[in-house]
Amino acid sequence: MRLLLDEMWPPEIAVQLRQRGHDVIAVAERPDLRGQPDTVVFAAAQAELRPIVTENVIDYRPLAAHELRRGNCHAGLIFTTNRRFPRHDSRTTGRMVAALAVLLSMDLDVGNLEHWLS
């Protein structure tokens, strides 16, 4: 599985996961995606077959549902919460790397699905 980290997540997470051999990129690393609306980020993730890692349920869930209603597939959504992975906590980057490494090692197919990271 390949991942796209939404802009709320620091690119250091993607860097550390790539060092572990995983194909992960962060929106913050992509000049073509930084600051773009969620529709653009979602479309790029679909074109690259990358589930999006985000806590932005309010915006991404409807985008995925719209694709399914149109009879299309989507690459999947991996949701986090600020309660579980608080962005202001310096330990969160390491915790996110560990949790995503476990998920990536499971080689799940999250296409058309939502997965909550724990």
Q: What is the pLDDT of residue 107?
A: 83
CA 88, CA 74: separation in Å to the nearest integer?
Answer: 30
Q: pLDDT tens-digit profile of 60-105?
A: 999 999 999 999 999 999 999 999 999 999 999 999 999 999 999 9
Q: What is the pLDDT of residue 19?
A: 98
Q: Structure pTM? A: 0.95
Count other Cβ atoms within 10 Å, centred on residue 45: 27
Q: What is the pLDDT of residue 75?
A: 98
Positive or negative CA dihedral for 4, 9, 67, 35?
negative
Contact 79, 114 (CB under 8 A): yes
CB contact set of 83 (below 8 Å; sequence gap of 6+)? none
Q: What is the pLDDT of residue 67?
A: 97
Q: pLDDT tens-digit profile of 17-37?
A: 999 999 999 999 999 999 999
